[in-house]
């Protein structure tokens, strides 16, 4: 599953953080899912950055990092305060929200300048700090800022590496990045390394709308299942 989601993420720019919770929650529980994906995604996005390094828009990447850095810390810290059902409810809600948001934005295209990108990055930092599946938000912002094709995937990848390190630092200080979390994350991260380079080979050949539609359905169903399970445990 990790290799598959890495391939999907390398093609669409998002998907890894949205699909992996559906597999990880039944195995390790909801609490360690965000720290696990924060660590593994850093490795995954590092390989993606190397594969697409020539297409990175460094100016916009620096702008987003500066805007998202403080809110990411706040979001990651807030996640460490959640209980098991609370974490599951947050992750499930976010998965459903990103599908709906992507559909709405795709239907009503919008554009942003540097100021709009910075404001959007502040909100993205808060969301990405405390949950998974927020990759679609920064993808939409980068597209609205004028990036296209490989530049979107490459810039998103380098942003995710930096933000992943910020999240890891917060989780480490909070004590949620345990030995088990690190071991599972490293396993996922290592096996996903080939995915980025495979994605580069197919990124211009595979119809994006086909796998995006399938991805939306899977993520939507998984999010609803998590929400129902969290509500049941709270009751």
pLDDT of residue 76: 86
| Proportion of the chain above pLDDT 90, given as a percent | 11
Burial class for 213, CB neighbours closer than 10 Å (0-12, 13-18, 19+): exposed
Three state DSSP letters for 195-215: HHHHHHHHCCCCCHHHHHHHH
Side-chain half-sphere exposure of 53, counting CA atoms within 13 A: 4
- Read off the pLDDT of residues 56-109 as tens digits, 9 standing for 90 and up: 999 999 999 999 999 999 988 887 776 567 666 766 676 677 667 666 665 666
* pLDDT value, residue 95: 67
Contact by Cβ (8 Å): 75, 174: no
């Amino acid at each position: 599953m990790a290799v598959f989601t890495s391939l999907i993420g390398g093609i669409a720019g998002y998907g890894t953080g949205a699909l992996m919770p559906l597999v990880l929650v039944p195995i390790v529980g909801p609490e360690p899912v965000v720290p696990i994906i924060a660590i593994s995604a850093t490795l995954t996005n590092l390989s993606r950055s190397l594969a697409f390094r020539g297409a990175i828009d460094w100016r916009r990447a620096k702008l987003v990092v500066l805007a998202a850095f403080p809110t990411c810390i706040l979001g990651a810290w807030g996640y460490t305060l959640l209980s098991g059902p609370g974490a599951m409810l947050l992750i499930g809600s976010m998965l459903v929200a990103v599908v709906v948001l992507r559909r709405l934005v795709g239907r009503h295209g919008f554009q942003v300048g540097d100021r709009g990108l910075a404001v959007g990055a502040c909100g993205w930092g808060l969301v990405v700090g405390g949950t998974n599946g927020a990759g679609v938000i920064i993808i939409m912002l980068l597209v609205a800022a004028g990036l296209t094709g490989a530049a979107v995937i490459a810039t998103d990848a380098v942003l995710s590496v930096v933000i992943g390190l910020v999240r890891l630092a917060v989780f480490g200080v909070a004590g949620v990045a345990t030995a088990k979390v690190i071991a599972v994350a490293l396993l996922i991260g290592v096996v996903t390394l080939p995915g980025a380079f495979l994605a580069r080979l197919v990124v211009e050949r595979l119809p994006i709308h086909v796998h995006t539609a399938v991805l939306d359905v899977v993520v939507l169903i998984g999010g609803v299942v998590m929400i129902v399970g969290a509500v049941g445990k709270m009751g």
